[in-house]
Every structure is written in C-alpha cells, then in structure tokens.
Amino acid sequence: MQNNNNKIKFLVPLVSVLLGLLIGGIIMLVSDYDPFEAYVALFQGIIGGPYFIGETIRQMSPLILAGLAVAFAFRTGLFNIGVEGQLLVGWLASVYVGVFVDAPAIIHIPLAILAAGVAGALWGAIPGILKAKFKVHEVITTIMMNYIALYSTNEIIRQFMLAPGERTKTIKETASLSSPFLQKITDYSTLHYGIIVALIAAVIMWFILWRTTLGFELRAVGFNQHASQYAGINVSKNIVLSMAISGVFAGIAGSMEGLGTYQYMTINAAFTGVGFDGIAVALLGANSAIGVVLGAALFGGLKIGALNMQSIAGVPTELVGVVIALIIFFVACSYIVHWLMNRVNKGGKI
C-alpha cells in the first residue's frame, strides 16, 4: 500500500511531463512547426554539451531555493506566494553587502548570503505575524508584500546605490560566487558556485522537516492545528517561524542572482518570475526536498533548452511556456493521470 503510494507519487509528475510534451507537440504540429526537430533542439539545448549543461544548472539554483521556500511553508499549511518579494529583498541585501563591505572571500560570501537570508526571513515573517496575530490570510499579505518589495528595492537602488545603466554597482570580487573553474569546464557558460548553496539548502530543508522537533511541530501544525494546540505546541509561533524560514530560502534564492549570475541588481520593471516558478517547482516536486531539486532541473532545463529550440528549429520559446503550463496543469489535476494509469493498468490485465 505504502509502496504503491510512493510509486504513484513518482509516476504522476513523470506521466504529466510526457503528456505535456505530447500535447505541446500536437500544438506545434497544428501551428506548422516540426515537433521532432523542435524537441531534438530542445533536448540538445538542455544536455547537448557542457555549455548547455552548465547553463541549465545555473538556471536551477534560484529555482531550487524558491521551490524549497514554497514547499517548506506548504508543509506547515501555509501558502507563501511572497517568495518573489522575499527573493527581491534578499537579492538587494546580498548586493549591498557585496558592494559596501570589505572582507576576505571566506567571510564576505557567507556574510552576503546570510544577509540575503535574514532579509528574506524578515520579509516572510511579516505576513506570518499578521496571520498569527490577526488571522489575515497569508495569500493576500504575501502578494501585497511582493509589490512593496519590488518598488522599495527599486527606490533604494535609485536613492543609494545607483550606477550607470539603471543598476547597482558590481559587487566586489570577494563576494562573488562566480567560478572561472566551473566556467572553464562548461565551455564558458555562466555557471557559478550557487548550485552548491542550493543543494546544501535542500538537505537542510529535509533535515529540519524530518529530523528535528521543530520540523515535527511544523508538520503537526500543517496537518492539524487543533491537535497541535492540544499537544501543547504553540501554533502562532510556528506559523511565524515557518514563514520566516521559508523567507530565508527565498532570500538566498535572491543572492544566487546577486552574487552569482548578475553580480549586481538592476532596477526591475517587473517581477523576475523566479518566485512564482517556485510555486510550480514545489508542486511538481510534491513539496519534498528531492522532488524540488528534480522539479527545478526540469524547469531550468526547459527554460534554457527553449532558447536553443528557437535558434535551431525556429520554434518560439513561448511554446515551451505552453509545455510547462501543460505539465503543471496535469500535475495539479493528478486525478486525470490517476485515471489514465488505472485504465492502462486494467487494459494490461485483460
């Protein structure tokens, strides 16, 4: 029974991916593109050579962290839509430390990442406190906090950190996550050390949830607040804590951009979208640490591969957006996948 459930948990995303690719292919066919050529180009763009692999992994890092943020809150029964905002403040905090602090790399990098985590935690804790104290729904407040984060970070950059090109100055080399070594072995992609930070974060997320008393409390509150209260668990405290920890992951996701990919922060005209992709990644990964890593790999891969698909096969990147949307659609209504698998199973027996 338990085994079977685990199998299904694993199969649903897999079947969803296949269905998404299949229907995406049909749409290409109807739109007069060659789906085979497109998918070959797509997959080459993901794993066809060291450069593409490097780009895919680089794209994964913030997605993993954003996915972990959503998944962590979700385990406590909270829906953190505010990962985007927490990511932006984390990005700014890491760049601030990267630009204005002088320290050797061994201190500077952790300090900048820590700053990003703290900023994200504070930004996440505000909706947590509002929920615990005044029962304001976190979905509303986190969405609002996203806008506050977007315009506040822009304004702070304009007022205090502006450099030519509508952005901040570049961070000092001692705070940078970029790695000439990683770039060299990946044919000069933009790969940086951020992936290590992201993978460590995934292990930490798993450890907190499943191996600590804190995780026990958070999960208990997520499943049943009444029973948790009865058992003497402080539900309000756990709600705030869960949002804060979720914010730490989101904030560090921001530092991936600030210390790794860009080395500065631009004035953003709109949201980066990474925070929202995190919701999909968490959904795809069934809110587990390993699932989030795999989900981020898929998402990162498709996004990077789409570029190659456009240049080689002439298929617009938007079609990959359609495929991604289809995959999320099928995971979300896993009922269809269950039904389909039952049909296949029964058919096999007869």
Partner 1 sequence: MEYVIEMRNIRKEFPGIVANDDITLQVKKGEIHALLGENGAGKSTLMNVLFGLYEPEEGEIYVKGNKVVNNDPNIANSLGIGMVHQHFMLVDKFTVTENIILGKEPTKSGKVDLKSAAKEVQALSDQYGLRVDPYAKVEDISVGMQQRVEILKTLYRGAEILIFDEPTAVLTPQEIVELIQIMKKLVSEGKSIILITHKLKEIIEVCDRCTVIRRGKGIGTVDVKDSNPDSLAAMMVGREVNFTVAKGIADPKESVLTIKDLVVLDSRKVPAVNGLNLNIRAGEIVGIAGVDGNGQSELLEAITGLRKISEGSIHLRDSDITNKTPRNVTRTGLAHIPQDRHKHGLVLDFSVGENMVLQTYYEKPFSNNGILKFSPIFEKANKLITEYDVRTPDAHTPARALSGGNQQKAIIAREVDRDPDFLIAAQPTRGLDVGAIEFIHSKLIEQRDKGKAVLLVSFELDEIMNVSDKIAVMYEGRIVAEVDPKQTTEQELGLLMAGGKRGTADAE
Interface with partner 1 (CB under 8 A): 2, 210-216, 219-220, 223-224, 226-234
Min dist CB 209 to partner 1, Å, is: 11
Min dist CB 197 to partner 1, Å, is: 23
Residue 107 or 227: the one with the smaller Cβ distance to partner 1 is: 227
Residue 104 or 232: the one with the smaller Cβ distance to partner 1 is: 232
Min dist CB 118 to partner 1, Å, is: 21
The dihedrals phi and psi of 168, each to the nearest 5 degrees, come to -85, 170
Tell me how far apart the alpha carbons of residues 125 and 247 are, in angstroms, rounded to a whole number: 7
Min dist CB 229 to partner 1, Å, is: 6
Question: Cβ-count burial of 248 within 10 angstroms (0-12 exposed, 13-18 middle, 19+ buried)?
Answer: buried
Residue 137 or 211: the one with the smaller Cβ distance to partner 1 is: 211
The dihedrals phi and psi of 335, each to the nearest 5 degrees, come to -55, -45
Residue 57 or 248: the one with the smaller Cβ distance to partner 1 is: 248
With residue 244 as reference, give the H or E element that holds it.
Answer: helix 235-255
Min dist CB 228 to partner 1, Å, is: 7
Residue 141 or 238: the one with the smaller Cβ distance to partner 1 is: 238
Residue 164 or 232: the one with the smaller Cβ distance to partner 1 is: 232
Q: What is the DSSP string of 15-55?
A: HHHHHHHHHHHHHHHHTT--HHHHHHHHHHHHHSSHHHHHH
Question: Cβ-count burial of 50 within 10 angstroms (0-12 exposed, 13-18 middle, 19+ buried)?
Answer: middle
Tell me how far apart the alpha carbons of residues 134 and 115 are, in angstroms, rounded to a whole number: 28
Give every CB contact of residue 325 below 8 A, 6+ residues apart in sequence: none
CB-based contact 124:80 (threshold 8 Å) = yes
Min dist CB 241 to partner 1, Å, is: 13
